[in-house]
A = this chain, B = another copy of it.
């Protein structure tokens, strides 16, 4: 990590170990590797443990594809704040002649993508985004709670195995009054820490900020930290002194509710918050902490994941 301030583990040897143990399957692109059977098993077992932990909360399960409407990305201001991370989808809309020219361009090794046009969709940059429009209208008195596992895209290619271009988040999304939402966020911050500590991960929580773009973004990041709107649970995976965020908590205040017209039962603009476990990152934290072979992990950890 270029911004590591302390001891950095050997990224290459960790990556090679993951490959040699069949945990990940190399790809030609950075942050695009495949996952082997054991990696997937750990990831799914952890996701199941999260479900068991939250089973009495009554969250509504939802599932969305890895694409969202382009209009949604525009409405939430993503292109203002995170243009460098976006994934815009283009396709080919032409006829026979255009297709022949496109094909020739591809075979000539020229830049052919300018012959495409934008579609109505973009890649999902945060698993919770498609949920907010479904909350439009007046909420019941207790607000609402949803949960999902979704693929997220971020254009940040990196050789570092915890930084993926496409990864899965297990999210919970709460909407209601400010008091309801903040109390829920605070309770989950404790619960998340406790859950990850039960897996014997050396975790700690901290105030955090989103990776806003540019100079204006630096001010937004500072304001987000000042208001304590974002927290992360961190665990050393790549660097001891620069731990990796494996779970994050965002309180959006009325950002999404104002955009999508979500009202509390009293007719006020609602408040929203979400929390997400980065499933690949939790999996990598478990592997880094306990070893490449889950059969050798501590019995207490195995009992929680493979009950």
Contact = CB atoms under 8 A, between A and B. Distances in A.
A66 B151 contact: yes
Contact of A25 (B114, B134, B157, B214): B134
**What is the predominant secondary structure among interface residues of chain A facing chain B?**
mixed
Interface in A61-81: 61-72, 74, 79-80
Nearest to A214: B96
Interface in A212-264: 213-215
Contacts of A64: 25, 34-35
A94 B213 CA distance: 11
Task: Give the bracket for the number of chain A residues in contact with chain B.
Answer: 35 or more
Given A27-B69, A29-B69, A32-B121, A116 B103 contact: no
Interface in A7-34: 25, 27-30, 32, 34
A96 B212 CA distance: 12
Copies in the complex: 2
A31 to B, nearest CB: 9
A159 interface: no
B89 A32 contact: no
Nearest to A104: B80
A160 to B, nearest CB: 16
Contacts of A39: 63
A116 B88 contact: yes
A92 interface: yes
A102 B79 contact: yes
A186 interface: no
A208 to B, nearest CB: 22
A175 interface: no
A119 to B, nearest CB: 6
A40 interface: yes
Given A40-B61, A63-B34, A151-B151, A29 B120 contact: yes
Given A29-B69, A32-B67, A114-B114, 16 more contacts: A27-B130, A32-B68, A34-B65, A35-B62, A66-B66, A67-B153, A79-B112, A83-B91, A83-B102, A83-B103, A87-B90, A88-B90, A89-B123, A90-B113, A95-B214, A99-B214
For the complex of A and B, the 5 pairs showing the least CB-CB separation, nearest first, are: A65-B166, A83-B92, A91-B155, A113-B118, A28-B69
